[in-house]
A and B are shown apart, each in its own frame.
Chain A
């Protein structure tokens, strides 16, 4: 690609911000925080992506969607690189992304709480209940209970609101 015609890295980020997550289409790949880097290496655009969960079946689709989005913008040489470390954390989900999740009916992860589950379990036991208040995305009540540690995808847990009785997904902290 003629260097003069190359889109800037900022422009590419802007394009990627329009690629929806295949499982939760209300948020984009950049909202999710899985795009770690965008850079030109000679005439090739290198996009560095980190997986959310190691077995997440959406990973392949995400890679395909990135390639498609960039090819459609006229980029012919695109390379995707996987970066495992630092491991993805829900703390990287943008503030805007959290609002979009909530509006979609998924309780967003609580910021800054990514930790190991065993520690949280200990805190739960010591304090008699969860240290995390997960609000119902429908009515906003904090009277909620966990139905299952895993929800419709590995990144979510199933909860229920004990006030409005709505079952909902909670994007768990990792």
Chain B
């Protein structure tokens, strides 16, 4: 059996790393989306965005809680969220992109949701039942996220000339940040071997299909695959992450251990 070949300590380290990646994606996107609270174009969308952020932050608690367990140093989900520095965050660069206008926020959400949906669907079959359990729960929530973001990019893409222009611009800007979702490294290899996580590139065909179908309906043109930005998964971030952390971590940094 392939799993028996893995050194237990290396396996735990790889598991911790993977859980940070999936947890940080949810945390950083959840925080980004929460920035809309009170600012959306209409009340219903304000509520929808806040609820999406809430789901993501709830999932973060589960993922980072497990990451802390895998690490075995007694760090809680809160410790990991509030007391790590930028280079220790493992989220992909796409989720730290600034919100921009409503259309850009939704385009980022759609590109992420389509991938998140497929990732969680695969993780439901993880050989690690703790991961499979969280994925089963999160998958249901993310199905609704994808349903909504897909619907809105179609309505805005195939909307007015102005909304179409903005959606195409958002797609063109965000596209070079989508490649990182499908890149893999040695860390993935170990876990893929053990049947704990899917190989990142195995999600690409499904993602392409969901995206192509929605873009066609939205009358948007898929940009050509060119240079793809990367680095977030190994802690090399854009300047945007620092500003997010400055706001998100302020309280625990200024008043360590503060509760309410």
A interface, CB within 8 angstroms of B: 51, 53-57, 84-89, 114, 116-118, 120-121, 147-154, 158, 172, 174
Contacts and interface: CB of A to CB of B under 8 A. Distances in A.
A158 B44 contact: yes
Contacts of B138: 54
Given A149-B147, A150-B52, A87 B47 contact: no
Contacts of B59: 54-55
Contact of B55 (A89, A121, A154): A154
- Which of A55, A56, A120, A147 neighbours the largest number of chain B CB atoms within 10 Å of its CB? A55
Interface string B129-154: 10011101111110110111011000
Contact of B146 (A53, A57, A89, A118): A118
Contact of A55 (B58, B133, B147, B148): B58
14 contacts: A53-B55, A55-B59, A84-B62, A84-B133, A84-B134, A84-B137, A87-B140, A118-B117, A118-B146, A121-B147, A121-B151, A148-B47, A149-B148, A154-B55
A154 B148 CA distance: 13
A158 B57 CA distance: 22
Contacts of B129: 85
B12 to A, nearest CB: 21
B239 to A, nearest CB: 28
A147 B52 CA distance: 16
Contacts of A150: 44, 47-48, 51-52, 144, 148
A100 B150 CA distance: 33
Given A120-B147, A150-B148, A54 B139 contact: no
Contact of B144 (A56, A149, A158): A149
Nearest to B62: A54
Contacts of B58: 51, 53-56
Interface of B: 44-45, 47-48, 51-52, 54-59, 61-62, 117, 129, 132-134, 136-141, 143-144, 146-148, 150-151, 210
Given A86-B136, A154-B54, A154-B55, A53 B141 contact: yes
Which of B54, B129, B132, B151 is the most central at the interface, judged by chain A CB atoms within 10 Å of its CB? B54
A116 B143 contact: yes
A58 to B, nearest CB: 11
- The 5 closest A-B CB pairs, nearest first, are A55-B58, A54-B58, A117-B147, A148-B44, A150-B48
A172 B55 CA distance: 15
A90 B133 CA distance: 17
Contacts of A154: 51, 54-55, 141
Contacts of B140: 87, 89, 114, 116, 174
A55 B134 contact: no
Contacts of A172: 144
A55 B258 CA distance: 21
Given A53-B58, A121-B150, A87 B144 contact: no
B70 to A, nearest CB: 16
Contacts of B143: 116-118
A85 B136 contact: yes
Nearest to A153: B51
Contacts of B137: 51, 54, 84-85, 87-88
A160 to B, nearest CB: 11
B22 to A, nearest CB: 13
A153 to B, nearest CB: 8
Contact of B139 (A116, A120, A152, A153): A116
